[in-house]
Amino acid sequence: MRNKLIKTKALRMAVIYLILGGIWIFATDSLLVYLANEDMDIFIMFQTYKGSIFVILTAILFYILIRHSLEHQYKILERLLTSEQRYRNLTKFAPVGIYHADDKGMLTYVNPRAEEIMDMFASDCLGEGWTTTLHEDDRERVYASWKHAASNGAIFRDEYRYKHKDGKVIWVVEEGRPEFNEKGCLVGYLGTITDVTRQREEEERMRLYAAAFENTHEGVMITDPEGKIVSVNRAFCEVTGYTEVEVLNQKSGMLSSTEQDSEFYENMWKNLMQTGAWQGEIRNRRKNGEVYPEWLSISVLFDKNNKPTHCVGVFSDISKLKQTEQELEQLAHYDALTKLPNRLLLQSRLVHAIEQAPRRGGHLAMLFIDLDDFKKVNDSLGHTAGDELLVAVAERLHKRVRAEDTLGRFGGDEFLLLLENIHNADQVARVADALLASFVEPFQLSGGHIVYVGCSIGISIYPEDGVNIEKLLRAADTAMYRAKERGRNQSCFYAREMSIKAVEQLEIETALRQALERDEFLVHYQPKVNLDNGRITGAEALVRWRWLHTEVIPPARFIHIAERTGLIVPIGRMVIETACRQMREWIDQGVGHIEIAINVSVQQFHLCDLGSVIRKALYTYNVNPEMLSIEITESAVMKQPEVTIAALKTLSEIGVKISLDDFGTGFSNLSYLNQFPLDVLKIDQSFVKNIGIDPTAVKIINSIIDMAGSMNLLTIAEGVETQAQLDYLKAQGCHEMQGFYFSKPVTADEFAMLVMEGRCLEFSVN
């Protein structure tokens, strides 16, 4: 269209020039003919002048036209140069990459920003060079898309990555728009490349923020400065029970409970506005009306003018945490079985009571309660029954104490009762009696078991028996053991003499533990003599303790301590090994086959495999099992008859003889006695010493000898010290004796000398 206008205008000017030229020629020629008056010379001269004037006018016209044209073209060129320079400046400093491509999609121009984005020089970008730094994962896809757009003259849009030489990866968005000529043919592309890496990172960050906001387990609530809710997350709805629609544009106060007063909220918002943040525990209300505890953190968001724009509240429902804390508190301070205060809480309350006692001017009493024979229940009925019994005991004890008193389980079968504001000992004694009375009735356990148990109570008084926990506990514990020594099922107040005895026993226990290491134990042998021929038939091995190899401690002072502490097991093992070794030495020395009886404690049956210990000793020293006799007291046997019967049968199967010691003192159940694999009954020395003095003792001896005869058991009388005792026992048919009348316990060498000398018992001549 523009070319057509140019042609039309040029043609119009040519026609005008032609018309004017024709007019000039014809008009001037007529004028010249008239002026020359047919004079050819004048006509030719005028014609020359006319031609010169035409040339001059034409030259002037051409000059004017050419000058006007050149000036117009120069202005156009100047505008083009200015425009081009402006374009170059725009593309040079443009924040986006700008490029031009031909109709094949090959780049013909890139601006500096495009060079930066592509990480290459302009010369390298042209043609297909721009694909060089395309990310390897995007290269084929993007190049194919470009070719497709170029072949179809379509708009090109894509988002892809460039990988720079330093390894940096950037994301770009490219848009290329096709250019067409007047005929509608594609001549190229003009496009932009925009670095959107930061935008994508920000979008990813915002996506993560949105995901975190929506999926966090903490409830999130955003409000405007007026407190209206503008956004909440899913956890908020799950915790509160409200939907998002129900809370939007509502005041955040809709969640408040009545458990915090207005002053609390005033202080909270005041602190929030001053510091920009607040956190703490608060109790809010769910949609269903339930009040729950939550840990709330609030932050204020400010604009650039430091004006608050929003408040962000993040909270956690700590109901389960509170419940767990309570459970941990219960576990930490209360006994899991009886639900009574445990040792830790008891000690804490005792400390508090001791601190308060001087101000109140009163006394405190501590009652240490230990169940009697509780172990029998555990061993016979099982630990489940034992636990059930402890719960029942705790319930009975709790019913007997005041609300202000503290009853707790100290450990095992031990309970502790703290009495505050005590004015006299009689008051404490009445409480102790009430506790003892609660054990009169039996305990009915599941499974139909009826159990009778008692308790021993030790009592200490503050401040008389101690001014701190340790002393009061030690005093009450000492008094409790004294109550057990007195026969159990009774109470006992602490006395200073008990501490002296307790300290002495503690010293013995400490020394006893070291005695084995120091080899301070000795074994002496008391001869056993046949009452038919008076000859030595064997010996009883008796342990002796020479403390620090100087002072001899009698068994009565340390055996019960050894049994209580379990030290009886290594001591008993030492005696068994020593006796077996000694029998082997006597055989090798020619003394003969001497039968040795060894006392064992019931603890050795329970705390170790006694059968294995004896087998090993007999095997080690090559001793005939029939030469060894095991003595166990009647009272020990009757504590757990079923367990003891099984253990004794195991020893009997080995070939070892079984002797029942102190018979007649333990109130044996004769139905059990017939089940024991016994070989010997030993008549206790308490009966022997009363021969000729107490008719009852004589009757018991006669009964024992008769019963042993009916059961084909050997009888041995111990503690024989007079001729009269000896004569009576022989006359009644007792088989053997031992006692000071013949010999006290002696060393192994002294015993061997008695045997080799052939020493015999002398009888009275009837």
Q: What is the dihedral of CA 23, 25, 30, 34, to 10 degrees?
A: 130
Query: CA 362, CA 345: separation in Å to the nearest integer?
Result: 22
Of 568, 569, 598, the residue nearest 583 (C-alpha): 598
pLDDT (average), residues 111-115: 85
pTM: 0.45
Higher pLDDT, 550 or 727: 727
pLDDT at 506: 64
Which range has the worst mean pLDDT, 113-127, 569-583, 584-598, 689-703? 113-127
Read off the pLDDT of residues 510-566 as tens digits, 9 standing for 90 and up. Answer: 788 888 888 888 899 999 999 999 999 999 999 998 877 677 877 877 887 888 778
Query: CA 633, CA 622: separation in Å to the nearest integer?
Result: 28
* CATH numbers and ranges of domains, the chain: 2-88 (no CATH), 96-201 (3.30.450.20), 216-323 (3.30.450.20), 334-494 (3.30.70.270), 516-755 (3.20.20.450)
Query: CA 314, CA 297: separation in Å to the nearest integer?
Result: 5
Residue 639 to residues 115, 141, 678, Cα–Cα distance (Å): 101, 93, 17
pLDDT (average), residues 711-715: 91
3-state secondary structure of 106: coil
pLDDT (average), residues 232-257: 87
Higher pLDDT, 524 or 84: 524
Joined together, the tokens standing for residue 136 give: 């390897």
Of 495, 340, 494, the residue nearest 416 (C-alpha): 340
pLDDT at 503: 55
CA-derived radius of gyration, the chain: 60
Which range has the worst mean pLDDT, 45-54, 431-440, 732-741? 45-54
pLDDT (average), residues 347-373: 85
- Element housing 556 (H / E): helix 555-565
Looking at the predicted structure, is the pLDDT value of residue 105 above 70?
Answer: yes
Which range has the worst mean pLDDT, 85-94, 137-146, 734-743? 85-94
pLDDT at 749: 93
pLDDT at 498: 47
Higher pLDDT, 5 or 150: 150
Higher pLDDT, 307 or 31: 307
pLDDT (average), residues 592-602: 89
Of 734, 659, 660, the residue nearest 691 (C-alpha): 734
Angle at 159 between CA 153 and CA 165, to 5 degrees: 115
Neighbours of 323 (CB within 10 A): 11
Residue 551 to residues 45, 521, 545, 547, 548, Cα–Cα distance (Å): 179, 12, 8, 5, 7
Query: CA 572, CA 563: separation in Å to the nearest integer?
Result: 10
pLDDT at 729: 92
pLDDT at 667: 45
Query: CA 614, CA 623: separation in Å to the nearest integer?
Result: 11
Neighbours of 32 (CB within 10 A): 17
Which range has the worst mean pLDDT, 3-7, 539-543, 679-683? 3-7
Contact at 8 Å (CB) between 227 and 272?
no
pLDDT band, residue 582 (cuts 50/70/90): very high
pLDDT at 324: 73
Torsion 259-262-263-266 (CA) sign: positive
Looking at the predicted structure, is the pLDDT value of residue 651 above 80?
Answer: yes
Joined together, the tokens standing for residue 14 give: 């040519």
pLDDT at 373: 81
Looking at the predicted structure, is the pLDDT value of residue 714 above 90?
Answer: yes
pLDDT at 676: 79
Q: What is the mean pLDDT of the chain?
A: 84
pLDDT at 499: 47
- Provide DSSP, 351-366: HHHHHHHHHHT-EEEE
Looking at the predicted structure, is the pLDDT value of residue 111 above 60?
Answer: yes
pLDDT band, residue 635 (cuts 50/70/90): low
Contact at 8 Å (CB) between 308 and 301?
yes
Higher pLDDT, 34 or 234: 234
pLDDT (average), residues 352-372: 84
- Provide CB contacts within 8 A for 269, sequence distance 6+: none
Query: CA 461, CA 422: separation in Å to the nearest integer?
Result: 9
In angstroms, how far apart are the furthest CA atoms of the chain? 224
pLDDT at 500: 52
Contact at 8 Å (CB) between 532 and 731?
no
Query: CA 463, CA 542: separation in Å to the nearest integer?
Result: 46
Query: Percentage of residues in the chain with pLDDT exceeding 70?
Result: 91
Residue 654 to residues 146, 184, 626, 647, 673, Cα–Cα distance (Å): 101, 120, 9, 11, 20
Q: Name the most confidently modeled range: 127-141, 178-192, 409-423, 528-542.
A: 528-542
Read off the pLDDT of residues 28-51 as tens digits, 9 standing for 90 and up. Answer: 767 666 666 666 777 677 677 777
3-state secondary structure of 639: coil
641: preceding bond cis by omega (within 30 degrees): no
Which range has the worst mean pLDDT, 485-489, 540-544, 646-650, 754-758? 485-489
pLDDT at 576: 93
Phi first, then psi, for residue 86 (nearest 5°) are: -65, -40
